[in-house]
Amino acid sequence: MRIFVWHFCRNNLPVRYKLRDKGVILPITCPMCNTDVEHLLHVFFDCCFAQSCWQHVGLNYDMSEVYSAPEWLLNKLQESAQDEILKICTTLHGIWFWRNKKIWGNKTTTGAIAMGNSFLHVKEWKDAKINNSGSEKQQHSDTNYNLQKWTPPEVGMYKVNVDASWFPGAETFSIGMVLRDSAGCFIEGRSLTLQDTEDVLEAESIGVREALSWVMSRTERKVIVETDSKSTADAINGQLEYVTKVGHSIDQCIHFLRLMPDVSVKHIRKQANRVAHGLARLPCMINCFNVFTFPPTHLVEICMLDVSFE
Ligand SMILES: [Zn+2]
């Protein structure tokens, strides 16, 4: 959601009015109501769907004098209490989520259901955060902790950790991947959502394929790609016969590995792959693709723990 808000504030969301401005040929009308041009103020405030969402969450803003939605949100972020900010951002994000569902999957819903899901999603995320901090403490006291810990590669080598994670609210898989050097320094991270993938093994193997394709486009040549999906690693390394459903992405992985002799794919435990999991769990709108040149706040701690000597 943070990334969504960032794009919103920078006026970067690809609403149709903006795409047309950039020369993309497509209908300019709002996909939700088909009655007006789809620009930011319309899709998030004037559209009948947006209005029913705001009504459902009990927020009512007079937008008649507002000419820039990003400016309006920036002011709100500065002026409003935390609770109201979370409510505003969740509502905007939910409206955008369903606008994308309509465009990409022709799915519609009511404002009440959309907002019910969005706020449930935020609650789950908050609960998971509380649970995670509890389980991390437990891991520290675990004597096996070091066995389950990520290890940096040898000097001159690099590691990419990759993971696929299911988003119950969005009904999609997200992929997270992080490239680090022998000092454990974060070089770059990527996250993306997958369309039409409901199978975990398929998502994991696409994740590894995306990671290898990413490595291919970069200059680092000695790279170990780590996945916590044993079946995926075994299938790529020829130790497991794979099912046809994932066959295509596994074949592509094997193809990439042939082109890059100093790159390998290895299986590691889930506990040692937390950095990629953390990036995959980052709330992400449908069809999103993010590049991180520095770690998002919640990954900094994981990156530091990964290279600590506890
Ligand atoms: Zn509309």
Specify the number of domains making up the chain.
Answer: 2
Domain holding 233, by residue range, is 151-306
Q: Nearest-CA neighbor of 53 among 15, 98, 4, 7?
A: 98
Do residue 294 and residue 165 come from a single domain? yes
144 has pLDDT over 50: no
Q: Could you report how far apart the first and last alpha carbons of the chain are, in Å?
A: 33
Question: Residues 180, 299: contact at Cβ < 8 Å?
Answer: no
- Cα of 113 vs centre of ligand 1, distance in Å, is 18
- Cα of 166 vs centre of ligand 1, distance in Å, is 30
Q: Nearest-CA neighbor of 200 among 158, 164, 170?
A: 164
DSSP track, 164-175: EEEETTTTEEEE
Do residue 168 and residue 297 come from a single domain? yes
- Cα of 125 vs centre of ligand 1, distance in Å, is 29
Whether residue 158 lies inside any domain: the answer is yes
Question: Residues 164, 173: contact at Cβ < 8 Å?
Answer: yes
Whether residue 294 lies inside any domain: the answer is yes
- Cα of 216 vs centre of ligand 1, distance in Å, is 42
Q: Which amino acid is at 264?
A: S
- Cα of 99 vs centre of ligand 1, distance in Å, is 9
- Cα of 114 vs centre of ligand 1, distance in Å, is 15
- Cα of 91 vs centre of ligand 1, distance in Å, is 16
- As a whole number of angstroms, the distance between CA 191 and CA 282 comes to 8
Residues in the 5 Å CB sphere of ion ligand 1: 30, 32-33, 47
The predicted model gives 197-213 an average pLDDT of: 89
Do residue 117 and residue 26 come from a single domain? yes
Do residue 279 and residue 179 come from a single domain? yes
pTM (predicted TM-score):
0.53
Question: Residues 228, 269: contact at Cβ < 8 Å?
Answer: yes
Of residues 208 and 184, the one with the higher pLDDT is 208
- As a whole number of angstroms, the distance between CA 167 and CA 288 comes to 13
Q: Which stretch, 6-20, 134-148, 235-249, has highest mean pLDDT?
A: 6-20
pLDDT in tens, 187-204: 999 999 887 777 788 889
Whether residue 146 lies inside any domain: the answer is no
